[in-house]
Amino acid sequence: MTAPTALEKPRDDTPTHADRFPVATAELERIAAVVLDAARKGGATAAETDVSQGVGQSVTVRKGEVETIAYNRDKGVSVTVFLGRRRGHASSADFSDASIRDTVGKALAIARYTAEDPCAGLADVDRLARGWPDLDLYHPWNLTVDDAIELGREAEAAALAVDRRLTNSEGASVSRGESEFVYANSLGFSGGYRSSRHHIDVSVIGEDKDGMQRDFWYTAARSPQDLQRADEVGRAAGERTARRLGARPLATIECPVLFEAPEASDLIGAFVQAVSGGSLYRKSSFLLDSLGQEIFAPHLSIREEPHLPRGRGSAPFDAEGVATSPRDVVERGVVRGYFLGSYSARKLGMSTTGNAGGSHNLVVSHGDDDLPALMRRMGRGLLVTEQLGQGVNAVTGDFSRGAAGFWVEGGEIAHPVEEVTIAGNLREMFRDIVAIGRDVDRRGARHTGSILVGRMTVGGR
């Protein structure tokens, strides 16, 4: 039997699960009830509150030495009250009853001076969750500072050992975090849960006659048991940095562009922003009135899966207490759903989709090709492994971002590339998606493989 690693071995001096948080769950529930009672007594016709707390630890190691050790113990209460269709909001980090009453009073004062908004109000009562599954989101990590330092050193050492040209480090970070909240409103809803999120990352610097390059890798998961080993994370960071040495610009060209899976997630994010309520009712989206339209290539589908066990974007209900459910957002290229909370839905004359607070896990359909197979399919073009800057015009869909990666010839990597710009229009790019790889990145809430776009402008020298 092998010895346990720092990812799994217990320590006697680690707090138990029961006392990890500064406030007991029952106290969060009591505070929520106090808020609603104070709002009612203050004349509010409706009210909602979110009471939350979080604890965490982060350690950064650089060149084998401890650079930072940070702890956090946070708590807060937010209050939203309604006087008819007038809305007021206030928040505080003080959980005393006097502070809570004062916070409610400030929210009521704001509401009295706010103009009426016919779309303001709580979620419709029939949409509120009345029961929900345990999504396995809470996995505390019994990790001491010494163990975190050990993991950080292991990750960094593995990265620097990849290639003698890797001579410097931006450091390795190891963090654990846990949070808990209770949401309640005057319609009788009260619910909450605990969740966790843990992380190991490392970034190193390489140098040769052509200059310096950096790259990184990370692992993130709800449970420490789902994290990559620290040495694997380090090795990936080292390999990614070493292969970028000798990068050079390109001449301006039109060619296929292959977005590596972690970068492809940004394309899905741009779509989400464009079909989210705020962008739609403000008419600041290039995908206005896209419901029922074929926006993507017909082989692409996107499904929202809010109930994936341990999923980064999993939630049994949204920020308004509305029950979440799986649904098709894009079906064979056709937009089947927007991302709406109650307010934006009312502005649009529609119904909430359970997305107050944002989208949940988005699962993008994919084919059978891995990344090397996609490169062979592309033949000649640019593989993008890093994007720089924002460069997306949400109103027009124009896309222009700095990029780095690799030039591909004959389906194989020819040389690394830097100092280029990739440009196009998202409407055209979405329609021109040739293939999606099976190399799905599940570390975040958008699960997609690498995405091959048929043609973009690559700006260089």
Q: Is 98 in the same domain as 184? A: yes
Check whether residue 256 and residue 290 sit in a common domain.
yes
Q: What is the pTM of this model?
A: 0.92
Going by pLDDT thresholds of 50, 70 and 90, the confidence category of residue 141 is very high
Residue 433, strand partner residues: 453
10 domain-assigned = no
pLDDT bracket for residue 16 (50, 70, 90): very low
**Does residue 208 lie within any of the structural domains?**
yes
Q: Give the confidence band of 1 by pLDDT, cuts at 50, 70, 90.
A: very low
Last residue in a domain, options 219, 241, 263: 241
Q: Sheet holding 65-83: strands in order across?
A: 86-92, 65-83, 46-62, 166-185, 190-208, 211-221
Average pLDDT over residues 286-310: 97
**pLDDT value, residue 33:** 97
Dist CA 300 CA 329 (whole Å): 11
Whether residues 222 and 254 share a domain: the answer is: no
Please report the pLDDT score of residue 19 as a whole number: 60
pLDDT at 11: 34
Question: 326-353, pLDDT tens digit by residue?
Answer: 999 999 999 999 999 999 999 999 999 9
Q: How many domains does the chain have?
A: 2
Cα distance between residue 158 and residue 152, in whole Å: 10
Same domain, 217 and 349: no
85 and 55 share a domain?
yes
Which neighbouring-strand residues pair with 92? 77
Does the residue 8 lie in any domain? no
Which of 217, 241, 265 marks a domain boundary?
241
Does residue 7 sit within a domain? Answer: no
The per-residue pLDDT for range 89-105, each reduced to its tens digit, is 999 999 999 999 999 99
Burial of residue 133 (CB within 10 Å: 0-12, 13-18, 19+) is exposed
Query: Which domain does 208 fall in, by range?
Result: 17-241
Residue 365 lies in a domain: yes
| φ, ψ dihedrals at 289, nearest 5° | 55, 35
Question: For position 17, what pLDDT does the model report?
Answer: 45
Residue 105: inside a domain: yes
Is residue 284 located within the same domain as residue 400?
A: yes
Name, in order, each residue with C-beta under 8 angstroms of 136's C-beta and a sequence gap of 6 or more.
222, 309, 310
**In contact, 264 and 446? CB cutoff 8 Å:** no
Same domain, 359 and 413: yes
In this structure, the answer to whether residues 287 and 417 fall within a common structural domain is yes
Domain identity same for 183 and 210: yes
Mean pLDDT of 9-35: 73
In this prediction, residues 139-168 reach a mean pLDDT of: 97
Helix (H, G, I), strand (E, B), or coil: what is residue 313?
coil
Q: What is the pLDDT of residue 188?
A: 96
Name the average pLDDT for the chain: 95
* Span 181-210, average pLDDT: 97
Of 241, 269, 299, the one marking the end of a domain is 241
- pLDDT at residue 346, as a whole number: 98
Q: Quick check: is 1 in a domain?
A: no
Percentage with pLDDT > 70 across the chain: 96
Q: What is the pLDDT of residues 34-79, one digit of tens each?
A: 999 999 999 999 999 999 999 999 999 999 999 999 999 999 999 9
Verify that 222 and 294 share a domain, yes or no: no
Q: Is the pLDDT of residue 82 over 60?
A: yes
Pairing of β 446-447 and β 362-364: parallel
